[in-house]
């Protein structure tokens, strides 16, 4: 009788466990943005030094490096990393960019076209959801992964050059 009771309690316990402490699969692992950069009209190899995705809280940015240091802008990969994650000469590149919660007025693909890391930068694409030439802003809340961000980076038809 005791064995029957123990087995019954064990079965009830085992059947009632439904991964109660498992993480919720609907909650994203990061807070930030995810999307695709579409590339057109790549420049010659001697003018491709670096590509970074940069999210600015303000548009137009005053100074890219000051804004990154003061956490008014975030680069992916970070400027402290010596390599780019964006492959050259591809039609598109997927990204997942972790960002702190907040509103961002300017998301840009920044291209370093020369050896001077402080000055040789230009915008080659920006997040823009309408037909005007101004960038579109977006807001990230804690625990949100904003998906389907599309950026067209055209090296022959550059967006506004704020830096």
Is pLDDT above 60 for 20? Answer: no
C-alpha torsion angle, residues 162, 56, 136, 154 (rounded to 10): 60
159 domain-assigned: no
Q: Per mean pLDDT, which range of 18-22, 50-54, 59-63 is the poorest?
A: 18-22
Containing domain of residue 88, as a range? 29-154
100 domain-assigned: yes
Number of structural domains, the chain? 1
pLDDT for residue 3: 55
Is pLDDT above 70 for 149? Answer: yes
- How far, in Å, CA of 161 to CA of 163, rounded? 6
Residue reference for tokens 């400027």: 79
This prediction has a pTM of 0.79
Instruction: Name the helix (H) or strand (E) containing 40.
Output: strand 32-40
142 domain-assigned: yes
Residues in a beta bridge with 96: 34
Give the model confidence (pLDDT) of 102-141 as tens digits: 999 999 999 999 999 888 999 999 999 987 889 999 999 9
What CATH number is associated with residue 127? 2.60.40
């Amino acid at each position: 009788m005791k064995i029957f009771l123990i087995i019954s309690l064990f079965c009830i316990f085992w059947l009632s466990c439904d991964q109660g402490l498992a993480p919720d699969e609907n909650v994203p692992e990061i807070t930030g943005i995810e999307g695709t950069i579409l590339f057109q009209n790549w420049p010659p190899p001697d003018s491709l030094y670096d590509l970074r995705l940069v999210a600015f809280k303000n548009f137009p940015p005053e100074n890219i490096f000051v804004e990154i240091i003061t956490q008014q802008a975030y680069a992916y990969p970070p400027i402290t990393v010596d390599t780019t994650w964006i492959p050259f000469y591809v039609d598109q590149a997927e990204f997942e960019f972790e960002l702190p919660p907040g509103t961002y007025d300017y998301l840009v693909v920044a291209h370093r076209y020369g050896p001077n890391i402080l000055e040789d930068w230009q915008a080659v694409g920006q997040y823009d959801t309408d037909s005007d030439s101004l960038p579109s802003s977006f807001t990230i809340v804690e625990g949100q992964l904003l998906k389907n961000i599309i950026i067209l980076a055209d090296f022959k038809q550059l967006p506004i050059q704020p830096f």
